[in-house]
Structure 1
């Protein structure tokens, strides 16, 4: 952090990871006081403002993401990574969640910045994710002593092709609650205040996710953004289900005032059996090309594609007998092809049963990432002065 006259400039890297985009900030360049640090970061992003017009945020939940990085604080790791979801509407950065997409960017960043020595053909970057107290391994392709950027791997929701970066979430069951099935049951029932009840499956793998049948909430599971984001009644029902599931598992206190931007966990997704559907780019996806359909919500709106962590939870759920995803999927193995608004996401999970509990030894998927720019982000010096008063 540097004083630049009446402006403060902060070294900043902007990267895309998977279908997300965010700022990579080094902890050493920011104030040690967490409140002052977050005050600065919110100003860098241009929050609170739904358009983030006066900052570097992109005006959506997928482009308002933060990665705080630094030297490893845990043995066996190459880099520390703390994820923050920067609110558009409030002066809030949510650190109680993680983002699999942005982890891809952090893995590439660590390899580019020399946090790990490059080895061929794959350099394993061990990332300590402080949000979930887990190590994630990103496999960075290396050729002729250099990072291999070009490739033929593509992901739905991102134009073009690049080299594939595999993400391996190790021992990812019970990340936030301590149990892969937080309630101990593959199916539970939640009651809403208006008397309606819904069956859900609650699975905690990388992120805690509530799965509900699309049919049960009056949907098909093939909907795109306008159909869901424009349906206030559906969004309200899903939010109530999410909150009740959070209360049931202790992630939300019964007396809390809850909003998607203040309580990101648990996540929620509508799932359905495979069916033909048209993607947001007007491409036909035949039913036979997917194993299950999922419509995943982020900060109260439909995700433009699908969160990686949510897909890993879904892959784990598909292998747990009796769960709602297990009832709907056509997959009989560890790999699951998830049909989402932008296309198909392939994800794997290795799930094992131990008497009445379940563990997820490994959850993995392939992503791409790219450094977009390096430079300095500027904020008025008065922002710091105002905080000190």
Structure 2
């Protein structure tokens, strides 16, 4: 069997992992591109045994980079979520954790030149149009992955990567509140449908008979909860103007509960057909915005910060994530930007091979 080799960098970005490609090295046709990514990851097997995926949604993600055509940005970041078993590729969402590795990967690929001890890289998320400024450590103009920053869900420490997200309100649906209301009731469950960095359907854990402090494994084992959650999610997706979302990973689903470890609020995030082992960067922004907005399902679950910027500490299944939210309180709540600290590390590079009958290459 003849194979096509495609240059790639294998990176951990935040609490996710996957291949980072130069977009110019991949097919332009979206259908062929999807087949290439399915083959590269090994989608169609629970262990992704015939590819480099890791058998979990957080390890079957793909980043595709190019010099930006946008006057504001340095780099365009095109994201793909490849399913573990279903041979599906979703190009609708973006991923903030994988975005954590975009700055270092862009430098590795020669798309950006490091400048000084810290290089600021302006990134345009192609899938959603969000603008993100990443600050990458480049002491003496050399990319460095070593540092003292720690994030929950990743062992050890690494160089800090500061991310500041702008233009994320209504990134997928065009509206902060896609159903034009702070609360909807679906199948007897009260939800807030919100679109900040990621369109989400957010509910109180207690309304599902949960504490909101369950482990990811405990939640994944609760098939009754997932069946009810998916029914609510798909109906909410239609109300949000997203059409039939039964085969789409968006909108994502989130549960909120009172914090118990000194944080601002507790949350569990779903991808959506299994539980995120920690927390999505995009999801954290939406959950933080929901927590800060009066009138949402978060009412009564926290003592809301009143001053901006607010540091919202979200307790999740692996620890905590902090979101620095710059907001205004004109007519309720409006988001200016959200900042987070992440890390990334280059794991490998070289060529990944796919069967030539899928794509013969350029």
- Please, what TM-score do these two structures have when normalized by structure 2? 0.94
Show CA shifts across 1:91-148 (max 9, x none). Answer: 3210111100000111111133332332334311111111001221111123222233
User: Which stretch of the first structure deviates more once superposed, 109-118 or 131-140?
Assistant: 109-118
**SS at 1:327 equivalent:** coil
Provide the residue aligned with 1:112 in structure 2. Answer: 108
Structure 1: tracts of 5 or more residues without a match: 276-286
After TM superposition, give the deviation of residue 81 of structure 1 in Å.
0.8
1 CA distance for matches of 2:299 and 2:97? 25
Provide the residue aligned with 2:314 in structure 1. Answer: 338
Provide the residue aligned with 1:372 in structure 2. Answer: 347
Provide the residue aligned with 1:271 in structure 2. Answer: 256
1:39 and 2:35 matched: yes
1 CA distance for matches of 2:345 and 2:69? 26
After TM superposition, give the deviation of residue 150 of structure 1 in Å.
2.1
Show CA shifts across 1:273-298 (max 9, x none). Answer: 012xxxxxxxxxxx22x111101001
Runs of 4+ in 1 over 6 A off after TM superposition: none
Provide the residue aligned with 1:188 in structure 2. Answer: 184
Aligned counterparts, 1:344-383, within 5 A:
344-355=320-331, 358-383=333-358
After TM superposition, give the deviation of residue 367 of structure 1 in Å.
0.3
Structure 2: tracts of 5 or more residues without a match: none
User: Which stretch of the first structure deviates more once superposed, 109-118 or 83-92?
Assistant: 109-118
Aligned counterparts, 1:110-189, within 5 A:
110-189=106-185
- Shift of the 100–175 alpha-carbon distance from structure 1 to 2, 3 Å rule, reads same
1:202 and 2:204 matched: no
**SS at 2:101 equivalent:** helix
- Please, what TM-score do these two structures have when normalized by structure 1? 0.87
1 CA distance for matches of 2:119 and 2:254? 34
Match of 1:219 among 210, 213, 218: 210
After TM superposition, give the deviation of residue 169 of structure 1 in Å.
0.8
**SS at 2:232 equivalent:** helix
1 CA distance for matches of 2:177 and 2:27? 39
Q: How many residues align?
A: 357
**SS at 1:41 equivalent:** helix
Match of 1:65 among 58, 61, 67: 61
After TM superposition, give the deviation of residue 353 of structure 1 in Å.
4.3
After TM superposition, give the deviation of residue 36 of structure 1 in Å.
1.7
Provide the residue aligned with 2:80 in structure 1. Answer: 84
Provide the residue aligned with 1:280 in structure 2. Answer: none
After TM superposition, give the deviation of residue 218 of structure 1 in Å.
0.8
Match of 1:24 among 20, 25, 32: 20
After TM superposition, give the deviation of residue 224 of structure 1 in Å.
0.5
Match of 1:56 among 52, 59, 68: 52
Across the aligned residues of Structure 1 and Structure 2, the Cα RMSD in angstroms comes to 1.7
